[in-house]
Structures are given as C-alpha cells and as structure tokens.
Structure 1
C-alpha cells in the first residue's frame, strides 16, 4: 500500500549502495537542524507513529556518539547508534548508523539542510557497504517509517513556529 505523506517526500536509489530521502519543511533550517540534533526535539518526532523514544543520548561533536532506543506500540524495543563524523550547523551532518539487530551492516548517513524562502529541504543520503544491506534497508518498510517520522517532524516544527 502506498504511503500518503507530504508531496515533497521522496525516496530514491541513485546507486546499488545508497538510498536518498528528501522532504521539505516550512521552517528555517537552523530550527530544523536543531530538531534533528537535540534530544528535547528528537524525542518528539524521531520514529514511526506510536513509538516512544526511551533513550536519546546525543554527544553532538565530531567523534561524539548518539544512541536512540524506541519502544514500539507492541512493547518491543529498537536500538540505533552511531558516531558523528562531521557537524556543520545548520548545513550538514555526517554520522555512522547502526541498527542494533544488524551490527554487521553499518551505514554512513549524510544529512543536508537547504533553505529557500523559509522552506528547508532535508536530504538524507544513506550509504551502505553492500547492495544486500541497501536492499534490506529499503525492504524494511523504510518508506512507511521515514514518511511517518518526517510527518511527525513537520508537526513538531509547526508547534515551534506558530
């Protein structure tokens, strides 16, 4: 079933090793960047609908680590972690990404924040080590989870900009 989300939400696969998610938000890029990197904001939007972030540890500096743990509606937990490699507020963020059940399949994520006329377009590029890892990521309901998460971010931004 297709995901209904904001018209600007798109997922593409420019190569066998990467997927790219884009979405526009009606907010300044400094605010979007802060919502992407600060625990008090991340807890409000990161993850699919119905998920609650029980752990949100962020050491936002090159070499610093992050760790998120989501409690899903069925009570199960999902953990995510990584190391920040580059932080250029409010333009770009590069970090490793590991989904705890698959520690052997790390990825590198580059997030860019581009603003025009008060609208910020976020581009999240995930680079995998293998085609199989990229395919697994794409078939893990990435479309649903990312769309819901990005919609939740838009809703959170609305509460901050009204």
Structure 2
C-alpha cells in the first residue's frame, strides 16, 4: 500500500484490482460533477505536466468518452463507456488506446461523510495481474496524486 498526501493506492494480492481512496472537502454531487463535466475533468485529470483535450464526452448511463493527454508534445489517447451514473456511484470502462486490449472496469463511490466531506473510493478491475502491474508501473500513482491535488484546489477555490 502506498500513501502520498491523502491518497491511498492498493493492489489487491488475490485479484487484478487496484483500489484508491481519498477524502475531499466537498459534497458528493460536487465531486461527481468534477468527474462528469468535461470542462472540469480536463482541468484536473492526470499529472501536472500534462494537458488534456476532450474529444468526445457523453456523461450519462450508456454514454461514452474519449480524451487526449499531451505530455511534451506526445499524445496519449484514452476512451471508455459510462455504464452507470448515479448520485453515489459511477461505473465506466477505461482503455489506453496504446494498449487497446487492456480494458479496465472502474467503479467510483462517492461516500457522503457529512459536514460537506466526501470519501472517493475507486476500484479498477483489470483482465490480468500483468495488466494490473503494468498499470501500476505506468506512472499512474503520480497522475492520481497530482490530479487529485489539482482537484482539491479546484474544490477549495469554488471552481467546482
């Protein structure tokens, strides 16, 4: 288990699953809006050194999405489908187009802690332990930590 700032990242030893968790000073609806509003999502997702361009975004149950992250002029494309969006949970697929066979099923829970605080929990189920471990080696920890730090600032500044 790794803990940097307030984010935990854990690889399940029995299943090809990655779990993350972090508490935010925001209500569940504000946090979910940061995940479903494409303009907001593009501002916080990923490492500080990246910029994100949304190419397609249909945030509804049965909708889909595609975005491009740019790092030092190199483009990385990601896509997926929103399987379910409801106030307390979001379920989607996630695919890095550089590895189109590596599809993750992601579930995000927005747990209301009261007093305007929410615990965000995520679970990414990959198709193999090799895929999970490659995901972990990809630098995802930096992207998660730096992205969540940007999101925290946006929530604190009232941008979300």
TM-score of the aligned structures, taking structure 1 as reference length: 0.90
The gaps in structure 2 that reach 5 residues or longer are none
Secondary structure in structure 2 of the residue aligned to 1:27: coil
Alpha carbons of structure 1 residues 4 and 133: separation in structure 2 relative to 1, 3 Å: closer
Q: For residue 95 of structure 1, report the CA deviation from its aligned partner.
A: 0.6
Q: Does the Cα contact within 8 Å between 2:106 and 2:124 map onto a contact in 1?
A: yes
Tell me the distance in 1 between the aligned counterparts of 2:158 and 2:121: 21
Answer yes or no: is the 8 Å Cα contact 2:79–2:96 preserved in 1.
yes
1:100 to 90, 97, 100: 97
- The number of residue pairs the alignment matches comes to 157
**Structure 1 moving runs of 4+ over 2 Å:** 3-6
TM-score (norm 2): 0.91
Give the Cα–Cα distance (whole angstroms) in 2 for the partners of residues 140 and 110 of structure 1: 20
Would the alpha carbon gap of residues 11 and 4 (structure 1) be closer, same or farther in structure 2, given more than 3 Å must change? closer
CA deviations over 1:12-53 (Å, ceiling 9, x no partner): 122331000111111111101001110121121011102111
Is the alpha carbon distance of 1:85 and 1:71 closer, same or farther for their aligned partners in structure 2, counting shifts above 3 Å?
same
How much has 1:156 moved relative to structure 2?
Answer: 1.1
Give the stretch that moved more between structures: 28-37 or 58-67. Answer: 58-67
Deviation, 1:57, is 2.4
1:10 to 8, 11, 32: 8
Counterpart-to-counterpart distance in 1, 2:62 and 2:92: 9
Contact map agreement 1:45 1:149 (CA 8 A) in 2? yes
Q: CA RMSD in A?
A: 1.8
C-alpha distance in 1 between matches for 2:55 and 2:151: 16
Work out the CA distance in 1 between the residues paired with 2:124 and 2:34: 19
Structure 1 CA distance, aligned partners of 2:17 and 2:120? 16
Distance in 1 separating the partners of 2:3 and 2:127: 30
